[in-house]
Amino acid sequence: MPNIQKLEKKWYQYRAKKFLTRFLFILSFFALGLSLYYTLTQVKGEKKVENNMSNEMKKVVLQERHVTISEIPVVQTDTSSVVTKNDNFDAKQEISLEPIIPVIDMAKEERKSANYAKGATTKSTLSNGIRAKPSTYLTAQELATVEETMAPHKPVKMQFQSSSNNYTETIKSKFLNSKNPRDALLLAKAYYNEGKYKEAEKWALTANKLDQNLEDSWFVFAKAKAKLGKNQEAINILSTYYQRTKSPKAKVLIDKIKTKQL
């Protein structure tokens, strides 16, 4: 018996929960419908009010713009005055068609011509005091003056002397910071031009170790070798480079070293 009572109690609780759930669902659905209906009615009411306001404004504008024909004053024009004006206009046109003979002050025109001739004579005088002559030939003095004024000015050449030691030291410090093979090649060329072939050989080899595609590093290295009396080593180096690249410059340099024309 106790078990049956417990089961009945659980059954009633289950039914109560189920009913309560359905009731809450129906109630919420009904509340949602009411809120939607209220919202729609509010929107319709606002639109209706806006339409009424716009209609009223249109009526006011039309009333302001409406002007009856009786309020417009009628202006009576005198046709006789119009005819008179037209007659005067025709008369003016006839008068304007008559030729007008200009009156010229000959004395004034002669003064203008004289002043123009004086101005032309003044302008023909050169800035250096030599007056233009009707003859097409120039005197020796005039020719010398013209040649002096027309002689082109020779440009002044500014000679800048730079210390080679400062240059090499600057490039060397730059190379130590950047390790750029082109800086090493610049040092090799600078030392070669100064006749320091041992240093040129050293820096050309450094540049070549960093980048073997630098063509000038091969050439400076070989030329430095040749200047140090190592012609065969220079030829061997250039021959190796020529076999790899077929460079025409390498071929020309080999011939110069062989013929001792470097």
Q: Which tokens go with 238?
A: 């250039």
Least confident of 88-102, 147-161, 177-191, 231-245: 88-102
Where residue 236 falls among pLDDT bands split at 50, 70, 90? very high
Where residue 7 falls among pLDDT bands split at 50, 70, 90? confident
pLDDT of 260 reads 87
170-258: CATH number: 1.25.40.10
CA distance 187 to 260: 25
Instruction: Tell me whether residue 183 is exposed, middle or buried, using C-beta atoms within 10 angstroms of its C-beta: 0 to 12, 13 to 18, 19 or more.
Output: buried
pLDDT at 44 over 70: yes
Between residues 225 and 67, which one has the greater pLDDT? 225
* Cut 0.85: pTM above it: no
pLDDT of 97 reads 44
Where residue 19 falls among pLDDT bands split at 50, 70, 90? confident
**CA 4 and chain centroid, separation:** 96
Mean pLDDT of the chain: 74
pLDDT in tens, 190-214: 999 999 999 999 999 999 999 999 9
pLDDT at 99 over 50: no
Can you list the pairs that 204-211 forms with residues at least 24 positions away whose Cβ atoms lie under 8 Å?
206/181, 207/181, 207/182, 208/181, 210/179, 210/180, 210/181, 210/184, 211/181
pLDDT at 240 over 60: yes
pLDDT of 95 reads 42
